[in-house]
Chain A
Amino acid sequence: MSVITQEMIEKALQTTADTVIRNEHYFSDLDGLAGDGDFGTSLASGFKAMNREWDEIDKSSIGAMMLKISMICSKHVGGSSGPIWGTGFMKAAMPTRGKTEITLAEAAELLQSAIDGIMARGGAKRGDKTLLDALFPVHEAMSEHAEAGDTAAALKDAATAADAAVDETRALRAGRGRASQVGERSTNTPDPGIVAIATILQDWCKAFGVESHPTAEEVKKAIA
């Protein structure tokens, strides 16, 4: 693998939907430890809508597809996840407008654009114990492989980095989201957004035949 095709992104999105829908209740349970327990159901409602509307989604380019998914999030996803994932997909659409395949470097650019948008929308930064703490190391792993262009190796390292983020952030105090309002009591719980990103990447590894072995307990429980 050296380029990332639109078909691969479609497969990744469908795998993501499977991961999220399968873990609907589990991700909500994790959210309930320090937050309000709606993360899994909110996110699942968006990916259920994506599945329902899949055949009608404009797939003329990666950007067109991402923009349509952003709109599905705005319409169907309540809670914090709607604006966060909606903004993420919208910003990911921008550098991929009109493209039907991208390089690893362009994929890293897509993710950077999404990260910037999510930070602006929610006001979170790295270390606030949100899904950004998984997206940053994933972006770094992708960037490190950008020049060599080995997509499989990049995916493996990205998945490992996100998995590590679950345990690395466990002791942090939440700085954003409803978990932030419980202060010190948000420590020693995993962040469900980070667990979700890590699980999605593990399931991508499986879907694309990349060997990967997560160590975080929550991710081991959630993978297919």
Chain B
Amino acid sequence: MKKFVNNPDNFVPDFMAGVAAANPDLLEYVPEFQMMTRKDIGSGKVSIVQGSGSGHEPAHVMAVGPGMLTGACQGPVFAAPPVDACYETIKACNSDAGVLVLVNNYQGDRMAWDMATEMAQAEGINVRQFWINDDVAVEDSLYTVGRRGVAGNFFVIKCCGAAAEQGANLDEVEAIAEKVNKNVRTMGVALTSCIPPAKGTPIFDIGDDEMEVGVGIHGEPGRRREKIKSGNEIVDELFEAVRSDLPFEKGDRVALMVNGLGGTPITELYLMYARAAELAEKAGLTVARNYVGEYCTSLEMAGASITMLELDDQLEKLLDAPAKVAARIF
């Protein structure tokens, strides 16, 4: 596999420099902590912070900007950022109105953000954490750290970022995070493995005729490995896993997302969306907002995930609020 890489160790700072260079009016990049913040951190507004492993772009660093994240720090590819970077990001984004850290639920991120949050709180910063866990693929039990946070992350950031921009207080923004997370579900499938630049080889082996159903965004195994099926059959399986989990029921208004995992062309994502929309209609759901593209990826992994969020008037308005981030098509 060929990649555009200089020194694999510098892969993350190198791409972040590009994100900063392409958005000179919007973003401030601090290489020492692999941290990106808005240039206009507004006083009096709640700050929304995120930080996690790299390799999921546009999450998390390309989600920084007005109406979305206040700041983000990046770890190495697929690994939580160092504690130090998390702590410095909270400090850089500190606001009189408080800071809400939104993090996808993984063990490494939990520990790093726990330590960083404790350190920031000891300094008198008003910071809280919220854990996103929308992936239905893995069982949730006391035995594990719980479900993973995947593409549903986008909806939590979008709604919290909009609310913060509109002047909601920390309690209100946190309540929105809870509402979105409670009502959003995702499941993914992988056709190929990704190749982390520092590793240089696929992270798992999968046959040409196989797919991993319920894959994680770091290539973690999902529910099972099976022979590849037609696009529609795959969507049927993912959609039903997502629909039945909340469950989404007849009459619900939903946002429907088909998210690419990095290595699947947009044509195939729209092919999948066509089937997903058909299934939603058959289930009596009203698709009020739709999203097709890359929101949370796994480097160049061929694959996709389906996310559904149950909507109400408040969430619809927050989804529609303007935002300006590095990930854009116009």
Q: Which of A's residues lie within 8 Å of B, judged by CB?
A: 25, 28, 32, 34-38, 41-42, 45, 73-84, 86-87, 121-123, 175-178, 180-183, 185
Q: Is B83 an interface residue (CB 8 A)?
A: yes
For residues 99 through 117 of chain B, which have their beta carbon under 8 Å from a beta carbon of chain A?
Answer: 106-108, 111-112, 114-115
- Does A185 lie within 8 Å of B83, measured CB to CB? no
CB < 8 Å: which of A76, A86, A181 contacts B220?
A: A181
Bound: A168/B89 CA distance, A? 41
Chain B's closest residue to A121 (CB) is B111
Is residue B161 within 8 Å, beta carbon to beta carbon, of the partner chain? Answer: no
The residue from A28, A74, A122 contacting B84, defined by CB atoms under 8 A apart: A74
| B111→A83 contact, CB < 8 A | yes
Residues of A within 8 A of B130 (CB): none
Are B148 and A181 in contact, CB atoms less than 8 angstroms apart? Answer: yes
Complex CA distance for A199 and B143, rounded to whole angstroms: 28
Q: Are B112 and A45 in contact (CB under 8 A)?
A: no
CB closest residue in chain A, given B111: A83
In the complex, identify which listed stretch (B74-82, B90-98, B177-185) lies at the interface while the others stay far away. B74-82
Known: A74-B84, A83-B115. A181 touches B216 (CB 8 A): yes
Q: Inside 8 A of B114's CB, which chain A residues have their CB?
A: 83, 121
Closest 5 CB pairs of A and B: A79-B79, A83-B111, A80-B108, A78-B75, A36-B218
Question: What does DSSP make chain A's interface, helix, strand, loop or mixed?
Answer: helix
Sampled A-B contacts (28; CB under 8 Å)? A25-B199, A35-B220, A36-B216, A36-B220, A37-B219, A38-B53, A38-B77, A41-B198, A45-B76, A74-B82, A74-B83, A74-B84, A77-B82, A78-B80, A78-B108, A79-B53, A79-B75, A79-B108, A83-B114, A87-B115, A176-B145, A178-B216, A180-B145, A181-B138, A181-B145, A181-B216, A182-B221, A183-B144
Please determine whether A176 and B107 come into contact, CB atoms closer than 8 angstroms.
yes
- A45 vs B76: C-alpha distance in the bound complex, in angstroms? 10
Across the interface, which residues of B come within 8 angstroms of A180, CB to CB?
107, 143-145
Would you list which residues of chain B between 170 and 207 have a CB under 8 Å from chain A? 196, 198-199, 203-204
For A177, what are the chain B residues with a Cβ–Cβ distance below 8 Å? 107, 145
Which residues of B lie under 8 Å from residue A121 when comparing CB positions? Answer: 111, 114-115
Count of inter-chain pairs, beta carbons less than 8 A: 120
**A82/B144 contact (C-beta < 8 A), A41-B198, A178-B107 known:** no
CA distance in complex: A45, B143 (Å):
30
- Contacts of B81 on A, CB cut-off 8 Å? 78
Known: A37-B199, A175-B144. A82 touches B112 (CB 8 A): yes
Q: Which residues of B contact A84 (CB under 8 A)?
A: 111
B140-158 at interface with A (beta carbon < 8 Å): 143-145, 148
Chain B residues within an 8 Å CB radius of A36: 78-79, 203, 216, 218-220
Residues of A within 8 A of B233 (CB): none
Interface hits, B192-237 → A, CB 8 Å: 196, 198-199, 203-204, 216, 218-222
Contact assessment for B219 and A38 in the assembled complex, using a CB-CB cutoff below 8 Å: no
